[in-house]
Structure formats: C-alpha cells, structure tokens
C-alpha cells in the first residue's frame, strides 16, 4: 500500500488568486510608489511560495507508516503500529464545524490534517485505511461520526 493525500485543488489555488489581486492593486497604485516593481516582485514571490507550500504539502500512508510533509521539508512520521488514537476536534471556537483530524502516537506525537485543506471525504478515507492497518486504534465520538457520515453519503 502506498497512498498520497494532497490538499484540495481550490485550497491550493487560493494564494495565487489572492496574490494576483494584490499585485493588480499594487500595479494600479503605481503612481504613489517609487519602488513599484520591487513591491510587485516581493508580493508575487511571497504568494508563489505560499502556493508551492500548499501544493507540495501531503500525507503518505504506506504499509508501516503514516507521515506528513509540510513546508517543503518538515516531515513527521508515525509507525502505524504505534498509533493509539484518532480524534476529530473543532479547530477553533468561532466555527465548531471547522475540524482537524489528529492522529496520536502512543508517545504523544501527533500528525494533523484540517478538513478545510483536505476535505472530509479524504479524512474519512485516511481513518478507514489506518483502522484496516491497525484495528487497535481508538476513535473519539467525532471521528466515529466522520466515518458514519462518510458511509451514509456519496463522498466515500
């Protein structure tokens, strides 16, 4: 088994659209700035780096490991046999619908995946795949609800 999960396409494209809008505003405001081209290059570079960071951020599930690579080089790896629990808590207080999948290692390390970035169908698939590889993984109520919703809807 070798499965790679990426961010949703629209989530990856968001920095490019935001950057293009900001560069357009900077260009239209060029009469008020003496360093317009330097400003445009710096702004464009920032948003291109954001896009590339989201584009190459991914999770990987193999027969023995679950890992996430973020910010080009930061990689966290947990052996599937050492996963103790999977939780699906709210990400922030302001929006209880926004949630993060948290895969916990017995020693306390964790790998997180946001539902906004990956999508709930992908998160449910990750949980199912990890449970098949290690049936001893505990799920909290929200993670179980995620699986139930996935079973009863068309986004399997």
Mean pLDDT of all residues in the chain?
85
Return the top range by mean pLDDT from 20-29, 68-77, 135-144: 135-144
**Which pLDDT band holds residue 33 (cuts at 50, 70, 90)?**
low
Return the top range by mean pLDDT from 17-26, 113-122, 128-137: 128-137
The pLDDT assigned to 103 comes to: 96
CB 86 within 8 A of CB 140: yes
What is the C-alpha separation between 126 and 101, in angstroms, rounded?
Answer: 10
CB 113 within 8 A of CB 101: yes
The pLDDT assigned to 136 comes to: 95
């Amino acid at each position: 088994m070798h499965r790679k999960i990426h961010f949703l396409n629209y989530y990856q494209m968001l920095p490019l659209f935001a950057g293009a809008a900001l560069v357009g505003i900077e260009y239209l405001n060029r009469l008020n700035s003496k360093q317009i081209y330097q400003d445009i290059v710096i702004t464009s570079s920032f948003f291109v780096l954001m896009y590339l960071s989201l584009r190459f951020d991914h999770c990987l599930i193999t027969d023995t490991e679950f890992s996430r690579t973020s910010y080009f080089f930061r990689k966290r790896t947990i052996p599937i046999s050492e996963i103790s629990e999977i939780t699906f808590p709210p990400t922030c207080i302001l929006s209880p619908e926004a949630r993060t999948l948290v895969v916990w290692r017995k020693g306390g390390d964790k790998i997180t995946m946001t539902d906004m970035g990956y999508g709930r169908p992908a998160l449910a698939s990750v949980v199912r795949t990890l449970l098949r590889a290690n049936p001893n993984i505990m799920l909290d109520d929200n993670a179980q609800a995620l699986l139930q919703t996935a079973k009863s809807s068309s986004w399997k």
